[in-house]
Structure 1
Amino acid sequence: MDARGVRLRRTAGLIAVPLVLAACNNDAPEPEAQQTEIPEELQTDEADAPAIAVDGIGTPMGERVATLGLINKRNNLSRDIEIRPGESQRFDDVIVRLYACERTAPWEEIQQTGGFVQVFVNERPEGQDDRLWNRVFSGWLFKESPSLNVVEHPIYDVWLKDCAMSFPGEEEAVADS
Structure 2
Amino acid sequence: MILLAFAAAAVAVTPMAERVVTLSALNKRSGRAETFTAKPGEQVSFDALTVRVRACETTRPEEPKLTGAFLQIDERLRGGAARRLYSGWMYAESPSLHPLEHALYDVWVRSCSMRFPAVGPDTVVSGRAAKSESSAKKSPEAASAPSN
Whether these two folds match at TM > 0.5 is: yes
How much does 1:88 deviate?
Answer: 1.1
Residue 114 (structure 1) aligned with residue 68 (structure 2): yes
Q: Name the SS for the 1:62 alignment partner.
A: helix
Alignment pair present for 1:74 and 2:74: no
Deviating beyond 2 angstroms after TM superposition, the runs of 4 or more aligned structure 1 residues are none
Instruction: Spell out the pairing of 1:72-111 with structure 2 (5 A cutoff).
Output: 72-108=27-63, 110-111=64-65
CA distance in 2, matches of 1:91, 1:156: 9
Q: Is there any run of 5+ residues in structure 1 with no aligned partner, and where?
A: 1-54, 125-129, 171-177
- Which AA in structure 1 matches 2:45? R
1:139 maps onto 2:94 in alignment:
no
Task: Give, in whole Å, the separation in 1 of the partners of 2:48 and 2:61.
Answer: 37
Greater Rg over alpha carbons, structure: 2
Q: Displacement of 1:131 after TM fit?
A: 5.1
TM-score (norm 2): 0.69
Deviations 1:49-68 (A, max 9, x none): xxxxxx54521111110000
Q: What amino acid is the match of 1:162?
A: S
Please state which structure has a larger fraction of its residues in helix. 1
1:127 alignment counterpart: none
Q: Cα RMSD (Å) of the superposition? A: 1.7
> Structure 1 residue 111: deviation in Å?
1.7
The answer on 1:157 being equivalent to 2:106 is: yes
Aligned partner of 1:148 among 97, 100, 122: 97
Q: Which has the higher contact order (CA 8 A, sep 6+)?
A: 2
Worse-matched range after superposition: 83-92 or 68-77 = 83-92
TM-score with structure 1 setting the length: 0.58
| 1:113-144 deviation line (CA, Å, top 9, x unaligned) | 000001111235xxxxx452101000001011
Distance 1:56 1:149 in 2: 31
- 2:140 corresponds to which residue? none
CA–CA separation in structure 1 for the residues paired with 2:50 and 2:11: 30
Q: Partners of 1:56 and 1:101 in 2: how far apart?
A: 17
Letter in 1 for 2:66: Q
Tell whether the 8 Å contact from 2:25 to 2:46 is kept in structure 1 after alignment: no
Letter in 2 for 1:97: R
SS in 1 for 2:17: helix
